[in-house]
Amino acid sequence: MARPVALITGATSGLGAEFAQQLARSQHDLVLVARTVAKLEAKAVRLRTDFGIHVEVLPADLLTDDGVAAVSARLAERERPVSVLVNNAGFSLVTAFENSTVEEETEHLRILALAPMQLTHAVLGGMLERRNGRIINVSSVSGFIPRGTYGAAKAWLTSFSRSANLRYGPRGVQVTAVCPGFVHTEFHQRMGANMSGIPRWMWLNPDQVVREGLAANAAGKAVSIPSKRYATLIALSKWVPDKLAAAAGNRGR
């Protein structure tokens, strides 16, 4: 019997690499998407060796129409259908909105919101036909607080996931927004953010974020906020003035 296939964007580092690891461990074949061919190939070799699964590599830049089209085409394949889509690719701008260019903000929005929407649309038809599928959108707790255009884009992604899960869950397609806080990955280092002011208790490990996210998706939950402490913080944030919530959310800038 053929193994289920999972496609992961931003698969060579951070949460994407952890999603690949955990899905491989549960005997999913993988399609790894990222921009750098060498990193993709190296990751694929390790996963094939460690778990005995089939791993495809798909180099693509989701900031380009060609990159999105290539990944969308793979998602739409019927002969080797994708059962799990993980929209993980992303980045954040460290500059304030007034100091960013419109081009930078447009690329930011394209990666965080437009690309996940396009890829979800590409895979959804086949999943609905089969009445089976799982879609995980890596969002952020930033979507629940005033956090610039990053938080605004993540708020859109979380809302989109909730709506999609409500509509398509009864038809066999479970959609979940995974909303972590600060995670020990290369994410903040790549964006050049100073994270020295973040307390140790606010940091999460990637394995916990992914494990809880996959479990929530399997259970049909629309939103996963990994760890009880972050779930509690977000619940309390509804009663905190925007100024205080924004100050907490922007500490890593």
Catalytic positions, written as ranges: 150
3-state secondary structure of 226: coil
- Name the residue among 174, 92, 98, 101 with its Cα closest to residue 139: 92
Residue 141: closest CA among 87, 183, 191, 93: 183
Distance CA 62, CA 157 (A): 16
Q: How far is the C-alpha of 226 from the C-alpha of 245, rounded, in Å?
A: 19
Nearest alpha-carbon partner for 118 in 62, 169, 165, 79: 62
How far apart CA 49 and CA 44 sit, in angstroms, is: 9
The Cα–Cα gap between 247 and 131 comes to 44
DSSP-based three-state secondary structure for 4: coil
DSSP 97: G
DSSP single-letter state for residue 87:
E
d(CA 134, CA 172): 8
